[in-house]
A and B are shown apart, each in its own frame.
Chain A
Amino acid sequence: SQQGEEDPQALSIQEGENATMNCSYKTSINNLQWYRQNSGRGLVHLILIRSNEREKHSGRLRVTLDTSKKSSSLLITASRAADTASYFCATVFITDKLIFGTGTRLQVFP
């Protein structure tokens, strides 16, 4: 069963705008990861945040984690058409088993 639920399911924005996606999960975690999937392709790892971290940045990506609320958010700043993809959060509990969320489909219009 899926651990994470993502919100919104779909998001459409204009180039240059920021995109925010949220992920909620159910159990304690060791770390939480975000992946991107372009249409018809495999998933690509974007960023990892550990349970003892609250915020992490990587380029135009900013991830926050609130373990008390069991939630995370992914912010993409100054979005580009090339950011159009599905974005998934994935949680890691004890082993190296990833449990993926339902995903957010992001459409960035030029």
Chain B
Amino acid sequence: DAGVIQSPRHEVTEMGQEVTLRCKPISGHNSLFWYRQTMMRGLELLIYFNNNVPIDDSGMPEDRFSAKMPNASFSTLKIQPSEPRDSAVYFCASSSLLQGKVKETQYFGPGTRLLVL
């Protein structure tokens, strides 16, 4: 299995531009998570999906951030317009939520390192 795939691995953009991050979860996993990691705030959960439905987006910082999961094998995180304070490493993770059980292990992608100038 290829694991969780994220693209791009690195993104440099200018303030005000739209940024789209992409994630392909592990085949068969039904939960997908977007995290942001910075030195100041550590690892923060932004949003997660279960069976393609957003379950909790309370971590999304503001309306400039949006996430979609049109099907079980693809998700996007979009920032529009981007700002310098959005600079961070964005991770996607997936897991298999068993029926009636709390999820156990999350599998992380390699991350997208975003720099907004």
Contact = CB atoms under 8 A, between A and B. Distances in A.
B70 interface: no
A20 B109 CA distance: 27
Interface residues of A, number: 22
Interface size class, chain B: 20 to 34
B56 A97 contact: yes
A59 interface: no
Would you call the interface of chain B mostly helix, strand, loop, or mixed?
strand
Interface stretch (A43-51, A64-72, A73-81): A43-51
15 contacts: A31-B104, A33-B104, A33-B105, A42-B4, A42-B91, A43-B93, A43-B108, A96-B95, A96-B102, A96-B103, A97-B45, A97-B48, A98-B33, A99-B45, A100-B45
Interface of B: 4, 31, 33, 42-45, 48, 50, 55-56, 91, 93, 95, 97, 102-111
